[in-house]
Amino acid sequence: MRIIFIGPPGAGKGTQCMRLTQHLKIPHFSTGEMLRATRNQSALGRVVASYIDGGRLAPDYLVMRLVTKRLAMPDCVGGCLFDGFPRTVDQARMLDEYLVEKNGKIDLVLNLVADQEELIARLLKRSTLEDRVDDNAETISARLRVFHTQTAPVLDYYAGRDLVRTVDGMQSPDKVFEEILGHLP
Ligand code: AP5
């Protein structure tokens, strides 16, 4: 099974992916984490850092290179959870092209929604607990803008295939997970 998690920053994609990966026993990967792992490690990593720190999306070609490398690993053959990918319509198209070649498909797209005030509050709170350089007021608002302009259209891309299910991310993590389980094919 291949499941995509889409949602604005702070909606709970990572939190719910961690739960679902254990429940379904399939791997989960976050393109945000993959990109953060490259930051400052090379000239390319420093370029990646400039995108993340500014709340802008890293270039599609770079993201696709990381994703296709990960998908080629044996543990992903039976399926995986995509956390924060695809984030542009072009990424979604390239993922489809890759999966068609491998006789694979997307089974479900979970659209996590939450109020903007709540998202900002969650991320500002996280900035006091963890060291995420993009969890500051200015970058959070850039990330939210980018979500609405570049990532929300990905939902329309999948909508024609009746794959998208909207999940209320304002509930407690347990309730959100319960709702997600109810959407599994
Ligand atoms: P990424 O790492 O994907 O960050 P994001 O999308 O901004 O998402 P977050 O991790 O902030 O939030 P989340 O929805 O996962 O929520 P979480 O569970 O962590 O991307 C970072 C950057 O990398 C991007 O800005 C971009 O530059 C780049 N990038 C990544 N992917 C890319 C791609 N495909 N293409 C190009 N560039 C890409 O929860 C957040 C907080 O809320 C936590 O503290 C959590 O404990 C809390 N929380 C979660 N659920 C609840 C709940 N139900 N109630 C109360 N609190 C909750």
**DSSP conformation class of 75:** G
Question: Is 112:5 a contact under the CB 8 Å cutoff?
Answer: yes
Q: Any idea which residue has 């984490």 for tokens? A: 33
Give per-residue pLDDT as tens, 43-61.
888 899 999 999 999 999 9
Four-residue CA torsion sign, 12, 31, 162, 9: positive
**122 assigned to active site:** no
Pocket lined around ligand 1, Cβ cut-off 6 Å: 7, 9-15, 30-32, 35, 51-52, 55-58, 63, 84-85, 87, 91, 122-123, 126, 134, 143, 169, 172-173, 176
Nearest of 106, 147, 151, 149 to residue 9 by alpha carbon: 147
Catalytic residue status for 175: no
The SS3 call for residue 8 is coil
Dihedral of the alpha carbons of 49, 55, 60, 66, in degrees to the nearest 10: 50
- Cα–ligand 1 centroid distance for 182 (angstroms): 23
What pLDDT, in 10s, does the model give residues 98-143?
A: 999 999 999 999 999 999 999 999 999 999 998 899 999 999 999 9
**77 half-sphere exposure, CB direction, 13 A CA radius:** 3
> Where along the chain do its domains lie?
2-183
Topology annotation, domain 2-183: Rossmann fold (3.40.50)
Give the separation between CA 26 and CA 184, rounded to whole angstroms.
14
Q: What is the pLDDT of residue 42?
A: 84
Protein residue whose Cα sits closest to atom 25 of ligand 1: 55
Point out the annotated binding site for AMP.
31, 36, 84-87, 91, 132, 143
The two three-digit tokens of residue 109, written as one number: 């797209």
Cβ atoms within 10 Å, residue 87: 21
Strand intervals (E) in the chain = 2-6, 28-30, 80-83, 108-113, 164-168
Confidence grade of residue 87 (pLDDT, cut at 50, 70, 90): very high
